[in-house]
Amino acid sequence: MTRTRLSTLAATAVLAAVSGMITAAPASAAVTCTSPVWTAQYFANTSFSGTPKLTACDSAIAENMGSGDPAGVTLPNDNFSIRWSVTRDFGSGGPFRLSAATQDGMRVYVDGVRKIDLWQNVSTTVRKAVDLTIPAGRHTIRVDYVAWTGYAYAGFTYLPRTEASVDTVKPLAPTGLTAAYSRDTAKTTLRWSSNKEMDLAGYRVYRRLSNTPWAQVSGSSLLTTPSFVDAPPATGQTFLYEVRAVDKAGRESTGSLDVTAATVDRTGPAAPTGFTVVSDAWLATLNWQAVADAARYEVYASSAATGPFELLTTTTTTSYRTSAPTNANQYYRVRGIDASGNPGANATVAGDGVDRTPPGSPTGLNSVARPGSTAVYWTAPGGRWVEDWDNGGHYRVYRSPGKTFDPAARTEVACAEEGSNEAGNGGACVDLDMPENTYVTYAVTAVDPDDNESAYSAPLVVRTGDTVAPGPVTSVKVTPRSDGMLVSWAASPEDDIDEYVVWAGARQADGTVKWLGPDRCWEGVSNPLAIVCGNLPDGETRVYAVIAKDHWGNGLHPSDPKITAVEATELDVRPSVTVTRDWNLGSLSHNPTATRPSVDWQCTDSTRCGAVTGYRVNRWNPATKAYDPQHDGLLPADARTWTDLTATKGNTYFYKLEAVTADGAVVGTYPWYTIFQDRV
């Protein structure tokens, strides 16, 4: 039987090994085999000892040598050996299957550790497969084969297991990624180093902008070569790239180190969104949403949908107002222009010139309510209302019951002819049909010539007029005090009260009251339901009534039988000592309502005034029943005023001013009193 090899060796020549071809050399020649090609050593013994008869490069271990020695080398027919070894990079490693078929003996080692042992002289081919995990990186596999006697065969493979349920190891990330961008073609050429995995299925290329997710750009099929040409959008932006390896189990590696490509800007902005046209009389208002990279916008118009379009304006804003034909179709386009001058896509909109835009709302509502009528006033809206008014615009006045405006319950007011005064800058409406003595709420709208009605104005709450007097005031109480009569009462429950009026009267012999009119009364600031009334507290008896008056002057008369009058007697605080007025020296005045009681005088009688050496002011002391001096000694002869700094509110004070000569004689006397009221 003739023994043959799958690859013929030439022992006497060196053959170039390309794409699986075998390089062989005589035993004396140095042979270097490039991984993953096997280095094969042939020995004329079974102990792998001595100098190999031949060293060769073998692309595979599949030797069918029959009953003779291997071709291309002189070996004994029996008792020879072959040793194959290879060191290679297994990339990420993973599950592998080692498969041996031999006749006679074979042993397989991984990094010097035996994994298969079929070491015996056999007459038939024996086989064995071992599944194991090879770690990532470089490892050495060695196969030792011995042919003792008889038929000789050696076969061995190591292959990755690619079942997804078995291979849980993803490939290593590709390395050496570079990117070269051409501004002429606007394309990016990517290149990277091939992965070492034996189970590599291909590659995927991803691209993104900074701070955005990665997107695959290499298509649905895996790349089988370590290069790719991408055509990124020519937007002037810088894109990032990464490459990921994919194995036959479908597992994808992490990304390679990122590379960047700065693109040329040949892309205009996106079409503006939200493009609208709103027509009013004579004008069209165009609005659109801003586009991120637009530096300015061009606005075009045409009377036909297909053009031609005329440039209306270039603007940096997102709105434009232009004249437009009334009740006629007009077509508009807007597009963005970026900073590099690239025009963007057009957004389009059509307008029909029909005015559907309501005017603004009237403002500043006010009113004057009277019994039987309510006049409502307002200010015109802004904008183009003057033109609307001149072309037939008008106002509408609405009224609803209660203190809030309810459109569902509104009534349009028929403004009285003699009271209506509409104008372009505002208006007035006299309502003669409103309910009296209650609350209503008005709102006014503006209506343009095309009957577009504005939104309601801010509501105006009005208390309508009436001729009905408020009911009687209750809980009236009169308290005599040293500064007058304190009159107090309970607040009226009615909500249209403007003021309270206190009346005083005198009881007549027949029991009736003669009402003298509102008494002298002074209000304070702390209590709106109390007042101090009366002149000098001199013991008089008076009858008091409190009347509530509404916004329209309606009020009961104190003689009305519904009024409850209160009779009370003043205190009598007058001094028990009579002082005769004897002041002929000049003029004199005092202020009973000053912040402090005070007196001013003149001394113009030259004869008698020349003898006056000073002045004395005395104040009545109710406790001692006497006039007490208010200062030490005399006031100077040239003094002409005095203020009581010790007086307190809520009292009536009696004073006596005396002009005194050197011998102590009093040549002029002036008595007066001051009611120093404590108003509430």
3-state secondary structure of 103: strand
- Domain 178-262 homologous superfamily, CATH: Immunoglobulins (2.60.40.10)
**Cα dist. 679→486, 499, 533, 566, 649 in Å?**
9, 17, 10, 20, 8
Q: What is the pLDDT of residues 224-262, one digit of tens each?
A: 999 999 999 998 899 999 999 999 999 999 999 999 999
What are the strands, taking DSSP E only, across 460-574?
460-463, 477-481, 484-488, 497-507, 513-518, 521-522, 530-533, 541-550, 566-569
Q: What is the pLDDT of residues 104-115, one digit of tens each?
A: 999 999 999 999
* Per-residue pLDDT, 521: 82
- Domain 363-463 homologous superfamily, CATH: Immunoglobulins (2.60.40.10)
Q: Which amino acid is at 178?
A: T
For residue 7, name the pLDDT band (cuts at 50, 70, 90).
very low
Domain(s) labelled CATH 2.60.120.260 in the chain stretch across 24-160
* Per-residue pLDDT, 677: 87
Identify the CATH number of the domain defined by range 24-160: 2.60.120.260
- pLDDT-above-70 percentage for the chain: 94
User: What phi-psi label fits residue 164: left (phi over 0), alpha (psi between -120 and 50 degrees) or beta?
Assistant: alpha
Which phi and psi (to 5°) does residue 604 adopt?
A: -110, -5
* Per-residue pLDDT, 523: 79
- pLDDT-above-90 percentage for the chain: 81
* Per-residue pLDDT, 20: 37
Mean pLDDT of 142-159: 96
For residue 571, name the pLDDT band (cuts at 50, 70, 90).
very high
Position 9 pLDDT exceeds 90: no
pTM above 0.75, yes or no: no
Q: What is the pLDDT of residues 47-97, one digit of tens each?
A: 999 999 999 999 999 999 886 666 678 888 899 999 999 999 999 999 999
How big is the chain, counted in residues?
Answer: 680
List all residues 6 or more positions away from 55 whose beta carbon is below 8 Å from its beta carbon: 24, 25, 27, 29, 31, 39, 40, 41, 42
Q: What is the pLDDT of residues 642-659, one digit of tens each?
A: 999 999 999 999 999 999
- Domain 276-351 homologous superfamily, CATH: Immunoglobulins (2.60.40.10)
Following CA atoms 297, 302, 308, 311 in sequence, which dihedral angle do they give, to the nearest 10 degrees? -30
* Per-residue pLDDT, 280: 80
Contact (Cβ atoms closer than 8 angstroms) between residue 476 and residue 488:
yes
- Residue 350 Cα to chain centre, angstroms: 33
For residue 29, name the pLDDT band (cuts at 50, 70, 90).
low
Provide the 8-state DSSP code for 343. B
* Per-residue pLDDT, 24: 46
For residue 596, name the pLDDT band (cuts at 50, 70, 90).
confident
* Per-residue pLDDT, 420: 63
Position 594 pLDDT exceeds 50: yes
The answer as to CATH 2.60.40.10 being correct for domain 588-676 is yes
Identify the CATH number of the domain defined by range 477-569: 2.60.40.10
Q: Which of 124-138, 509-523, 617-631 has the lowest mean pLDDT?
A: 509-523
Domain(s) labelled CATH 2.60.40.10 in the chain stretch across 178-262, 276-351, 363-463, 477-569, 588-676
